[in-house]
């Protein structure tokens, strides 16, 4: 008797439920606990007023948290109640999970593990199938996203990440203030922002509330923002601009290297932040830069560094004037790859200068992209968009799962 009371307390079993028997199998390393309800109990069910008599019962098994190294299963006799309209409904205890066959605490543990481990590792750790692990995560992500409140979103950041080889992408939209992903769409065209607009309004947000949007210079994203969020100030963050300039530096090096073998091995010295180079690499870079009058690669590097300095300034009028002069200087040069950057800057000048006022960046989305790609490699890729969406939300959605499963607060974060 004391044993059943002890386990009832440990499990948090409260009236009308009670533990009837406890069976330990040392060979199988399992603990099976039988649970019943008090005779004569009437039960309430959702969408039906009052409490209703038991019609019949069924027995259902739930996987619970391990007791030490032993897997724990709860065999519960569940009542089916008869409603006034004649229908019969199954009643499950409040600690039953969102998926059939698990308790809320077990699902909370799986979800906590999946935010830190690969799905396959979690499956091995808790000894359930990979399919069931992913089903738990998909269920909770879907429920948490459905309950999300987007009414206070005023600033967004939009970026893309590859999901497969062959130019297959997904679009991420984040709340820039909270640095949390709030929407994931298949593809990277303007229609993805149409879809986000619908989702935003479905969750209490308004397109008129969006004051700013940080994007790359994709014509699709520019079009999508303009069509859906006409009040938003578009910002092209400086990191995307510098990335284009770095690409121009590398393109110039590759072309010039064909006739200048001394440029071989200089790629990362040119692309890496000079302040982070070793003394030896910095000396090699300085030697090259001194040859700027004769080396187009050196001139390209200087143009990029000058561009970086301009974009660090905070006065919009000064930045506008300096960018125009920078573009003029580049267009008069013979560094063809950098001329493409100058043309791009001229055509997107307002959005680039906006950076000086908003300081809004997609940098945190780039970091999220790196985490997602690392997770994808560990899991050897994800084939379904639904899985990709779920993983991104687990990594970067900052979803509040306690609204879906109150037992999440009982586990360490």
- Tell me the per-residue pLDDT of 55-108, one tens digit each, with 9 for 90 and over: 999 999 999 999 888 999 999 999 999 998 889 999 999 999 999 999 999 999
Q: For residue 176, what are the CA distances in angstroms to 122, 184, 231, 232?
A: 31, 15, 16, 13
Note if the bond before 67 is cis, omega within 30 degrees: no
Closest-CA residue to 25 (of 72, 62, 68): 72
pLDDT at 374: 74
Range 192-227 burial, b when 16+ CB lie within 10 A, else e: bbebbbebbeebebebebbebbbbbbbebbbebbee
Chain region(s) in the chain for CATH 3.30.420.10: 155-236+361-381
Q: Is the pLDDT of residue 301 over 90?
A: yes
Q: Is the pLDDT of residue 238 over 90?
A: no
Q: Is the pLDDT of residue 408 over 80?
A: yes
Q: Decide: 332 and 293 in contact? Cβ < 8 Å.
A: no
Closest-CA residue to 31 (of 2, 58, 66): 66
- Among the residue ranges 8-17, 73-82, 294-303, the one predicted with the least confidence is 8-17
Count the neighbouring beta carbons within 10 Å of the beta carbon of residue 240.
Answer: 23
Fill in the DSSP letter of residue 21. Answer: E
More confident call, 372 vs 98 = 98
Q: Is the pLDDT of residue 6 over 90?
A: no
Q: Decide: 67 and 38 in contact? Cβ < 8 Å.
A: no
Q: How far apart are CA 117 and CA 133, in angstroms?
A: 12
Torsion of the alpha carbons at 281, 286, 288 and 293, rounded to the nearest 10: 170
CATH of domain 155-236+361-381: 3.30.420.10
């Amino acid at each position: 008797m004391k044993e059943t009371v002890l386990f009832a307390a440990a499990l948090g079993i409260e009236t009308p439920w009670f533990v009837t028997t406890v069976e330990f199998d040392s060979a199988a390393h399992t603990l099976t606990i039988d649970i019943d309800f008090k005779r004569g109990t009437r039960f309430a069910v959702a969408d039906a007023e009052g409490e209703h008599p038991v019609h019949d019962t069924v027995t259902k098994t739930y996987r619970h948290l391990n007791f030490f190294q032993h897997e724990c299963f709860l065999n519960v006799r569940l009542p089916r109640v008869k409603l006034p309209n004649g229908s019969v409904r199954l009643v499950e205890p409040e600690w039953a999970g969102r998926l059939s066959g698990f308790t809320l605490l077990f699902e909370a543990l799986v979800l906590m593990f999946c935010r830190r481990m690969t799905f396959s590792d979690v499956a091995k750790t808790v000894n359930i199938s990979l399919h069931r692990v992913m089903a738990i995560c998909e269920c909770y992500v879907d429920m948490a996203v459905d309950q999300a409140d987007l009414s206070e979103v005023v600033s967004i950041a939009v970026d893309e990440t590859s999901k497969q080889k062959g130019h297959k992408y997904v679009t991420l939209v984040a709340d820039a203030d909270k640095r949390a992903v709030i929407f994931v769409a298949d593809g990277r065209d303007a229609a993805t922002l149409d879809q986000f607009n619908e989702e935003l309004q479905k969750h209490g947000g308004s397109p008129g509330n969006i004051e700013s949007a940080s994007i790359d210079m994709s014509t699709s994203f520019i079009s999508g923002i303009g069509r859906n969020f006409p009040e938003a100030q578009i910002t092209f963050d400086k990191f995307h601009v510098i990335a284009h300039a770095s690409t121009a530096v590398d393109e110039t090096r590759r072309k010039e290297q064909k006739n200048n073998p001394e440029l071989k091995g200089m790629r990362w010295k040119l692309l890496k932040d000079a302040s982070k180079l070793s003394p030896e690499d910095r000396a090699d870079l300085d030697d090259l830069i001194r040859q700027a009058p004769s080396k187009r690669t050196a001139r390209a590097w200087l143009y990029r560094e000058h561009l970086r300095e301009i974009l660090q300034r905070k006065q919009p009028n000064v930045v506008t004037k300096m960018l125009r002069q920078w573009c003029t200087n580049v267009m008069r040069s013979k560094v063809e790859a950098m001329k493409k950057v100058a043309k791009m800057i001229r055509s997107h000048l307002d959005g680039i200068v906006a950076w000086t006022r908003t300081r809004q960046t997609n940098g945190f989305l780039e970091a999220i992209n790196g985490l997602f790609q690392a997770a994808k490699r560990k899991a050897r890729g994800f084939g379904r968009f639904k899985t990709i969406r779920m993983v991104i939300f687990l990594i970067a959605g900052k979803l509040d799962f306690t609204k879906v499963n109150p037992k999440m607060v009982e586990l360490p974060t």
